[in-house]
A and B are shown apart, each in its own frame.
Chain A
Amino acid sequence: MTETEKLVNRLPNDIGGLPADPIQRVDHELEPWEKRCHALADVLDFHKIINTEEKRCGVEALGAEMVGKLSYYERWIVAFANILFRKGILTPTELALKMKEVESRSNED
């Protein structure tokens, strides 16, 4: 199979059966924002705003480079933002302004 054929045949999440490194039994306690992000995912699913499969697809749509470089919950929150933009629930400008507000608020603390 050529390099491009391989790309066509496998989306970034579809790694079952590929060669990979030995298992390292790593784990970590979730940071507070990661736990909030998980709870947000569940609540979005409860309200049928973003279901589990849409979330997984949204992560995949980030592309191989972002999937490889962002951590697990970083991928989730970025995917949520993109999905919410696509659904017309949020706009990029709205989110950018809100992030500025949140950041300046935390600087005041």
Chain B
Amino acid sequence: MTHRHEDDAHDHDHDHAHPHAEISEGRPGYYDIMETAVRELLIDKKLIGADEIRRQIEVLDSRMPALGARVVARAWTDPAFRARLLADGRAACEELGISFYDDTSLIAVENTDKVHNLIVCTLCSCYPRPVLGLPPDWYKARPYRARAVVEPRAVLAEFGTIIPDEVEVRVHDSTAMVRYLVLPKRPAGTGHFSEEELAALVTRDTMIGVVPATVDVAGAAP
């Protein structure tokens, strides 16, 4: 039996995270089978190696927002590193041992008292994956992609982030080759924090730019 999304047969094109079809008795669904078939055919033809897929899954599993948080904390505590990060985001991340497994370049954009940055990919789901891991579903969904570029302040408000009128909002639309990372503002009152303590304040969403970094993040996800 297949697991088509019959329940998604609504007539509009909302690209929200689809609740995934229930898996009955652990049997693979139609698309699961298609993935296995495509992969095995390509391996049979020696176009890709089975071990490459396995290794890339390990790479994907190793990428998480904690990596980006290390980059941000370093930039907050080391002005020379911050300058290098803003000059060439990819090279600065590589300096911290974060390898880029794709051909993308990375531009770090800095939040200040005058500018608030937000990243989006209107066309699809481009995201600084080597540094942050995979994007959340809402980042890939229609409401965020459609609205972030035209009413960013309203979108930010839905995340609880109110940007004062005198602060400029800049929205960066990612592409297949160029990805962005927001360098959030260092929260006030953290002068005595160690780099590690600072990194703990930096969540995924602060580096997308939808929320500010704050000191009361303890226990918040991820």
Contacts and interface: CB of A to CB of B under 8 A. Distances in A.
B is a partner of A:
yes
B170 interface: no
B33 A30 contact: no
B185 interface: no
B123 A18 contact: no
B113 interface: no
Interface of A is mostly: helix
A90 interface: yes
A14 interface: yes
A96 to B, nearest CB: 9
Interface residues of A, number: 64
Nearest to A11: B123
The interface centre, meaning the residue of B123, B126, B142, B145 with most chain A CB atoms within 10 A of its CB, is: B123
Contact of B52 (A43, A52, A78): A43
Contact of A78 (B8, B34, B59): B34
Given A18-B146, A28-B17, A39 B56 contact: yes
Which 6 interchain pairs have the tightest Cβ spacing?
Answer: A16-B122, A68-B13, A20-B146, A33-B32, A39-B56, A71-B18
Interface of A: 12-28, 30-31, 33, 35-40, 42-47, 49, 51-53, 56, 59, 64-65, 67-74, 77-78, 80-81, 84, 89-90, 94-95, 98-99, 101-103, 106-107
Interface of B: 5, 8-9, 12-18, 20, 27-29, 31-42, 45, 47-48, 52-54, 56-57, 59-60, 101-103, 120, 122-126, 134, 136-138, 140-150, 155, 158-159, 173, 176-177
29 contacts: A15-B146, A16-B123, A20-B146, A21-B143, A25-B136, A26-B136, A26-B137, A26-B141, A28-B137, A31-B32, A33-B29, A33-B35, A36-B36, A38-B134, A43-B48, A43-B52, A47-B48, A52-B176, A71-B5, A71-B18, A77-B31, A77-B35, A89-B47, A95-B37, A98-B37, A101-B37, A102-B36, A106-B27, A106-B28
